[in-house]
Amino acid sequence: MTIQSVEALTLSNLSVPRIIDVAQKAKLSCSYEMGNRTLNSVKWYKDGQEFFRYSPLTPPTTNWFPVKGVTIADGSSLCNQFMCNVELEKLNVNSSGQYRCEVSGDAPEFKLIDKAANLTVGVLPKSDPEISGVERTYQYRNTLLANCSFESSPAAKLTWYINNKTASQSSMLPVVYDVKRNDDGISVYKSHLQLRIYIDDKRYINKSEMLELRCSADIMGVASLRRSSQARTTILASKGSGHNQRLTENGACASARAATIAAWFLCIATLLRWRCTLS
């Protein structure tokens, strides 16, 4: 008696872009290992609706089904015993959603296996954050106000850094969003975050120091989409201004003493003339 081992049907890889620009094409890829089974079909779904099927045992081997937001690029599908890839074009706001690949073996078991991943269609950044309002120099007890603006979809998370250290929450004013819709119906957000610092550290009384300000924009935690801009400013030591103030005060005192001496001389001269007159 011969016992034949049954190798497991596995879906080894599912590749769906986590986020993609509306102007690009989205490539969906599904890889699987059939073991000693025969492939019956591979189906692609968006939000539970089937839009593509590959069935090598039943002609026609490829079929498309209308689903809102899904347009398969001509000639883009490539499916076989090991993988099934399709490419979506003409993306719009309805193209975002959950995409699922389902693989099934042939009779008698018709075993199914599937995996799913979310895809977000947005407007990815074309430039770095814009920093404004930073002066070249500040002094002790000045207030530094800096603004950071960034446009993207989905909305970005903005963060300020001072000399590579995250600025305190109390120094960052809440994010404000300006929202508009583009021609594809996608909401585009312009994020604004203000940095406000009251320069009260006493070390700036005797020491000048350069500050590096950096604004970072993060979209859904995707490292390749992270953008940042930098600005530099100098906190000038206030010791010189205090020295000048002391010089001014000393000069005023000297002037006062001189005026007092002159008054005494005038008084003495007046007394002498009065005595001469009496004589």
pLDDT tens digits, 220-268: 999 999 999 999 999 998 765 444 444 334 444 444 454 455 555 554 5
- Domain count for the chain, please give it: 2
- Residues of the chain by 3-state class (helix, strand, coil), percent to 5: 20, 45, 35
Clarify whether residues 102 and 135 are in a common domain. Answer: no
- Report pLDDT for 179: 92
Q: Which single residue is written with the structure tokens 């979209």?
A: 219
Res. 5: pLDDT tops 50 = no
Res. 276: pLDDT tops 90 = no
Label residue 205 by pLDDT band (50, 70, 90).
confident
Closest by alpha carbon to 11, among 104, 114, 156, 99?
114
Q: Is residue 40 part of a domain?
A: yes
Clarify whether residues 48 and 148 are in a common domain. Answer: no
Clarify whether residues 134 and 232 are in a common domain. Answer: yes
Distance linking the first and last C-alpha atoms of the chain = 158
Q: What is the CATH number of the domain that holds 164?
A: 2.60.40.10
Clarify whether residues 111 and 151 are in a common domain. Answer: no
Amino acid at 265: F
For 99, the token pair is: 């995409």
Task: Quick: pLDDT tens for 55-107.
Answer: 999 889 999 999 999 999 999 999 999 999 999 999 999 999 999 999 998 87
Clarify whether residues 100 and 138 are in a common domain. Answer: no
Clarify whether residues 77 and 180 are in a common domain. Answer: no
Clarify whether residues 18 and 116 are in a common domain. Answer: yes
For 189, the token pair is: 């957000």
Kind plus residue range of the DSSP H or E element containing 257: helix 239-278
What single DSSP character describes residue 211? E
Question: How much is the pTM?
Answer: 0.76
- Report pLDDT for 249: 41
- Report pLDDT for 35: 84
CB 22 within 8 A of CB 92: yes
Res. 273: pLDDT tops 90 = no
Label residue 204 by pLDDT band (50, 70, 90).
confident
Task: Bin 185: left if φ > 0, else alpha if -120 < ψ < 50, else beta.
Answer: left
- Domain region containing 180: 130-239
Clarify whether residues 116 and 134 are in a common domain. Answer: no
**Mean pLDDT of the region 118-140:** 95
Among 97, 122, 147, the domain boundary falls at: 122
Q: What CA–CA distance (Å, rounded) separates 256 from 253?
A: 5
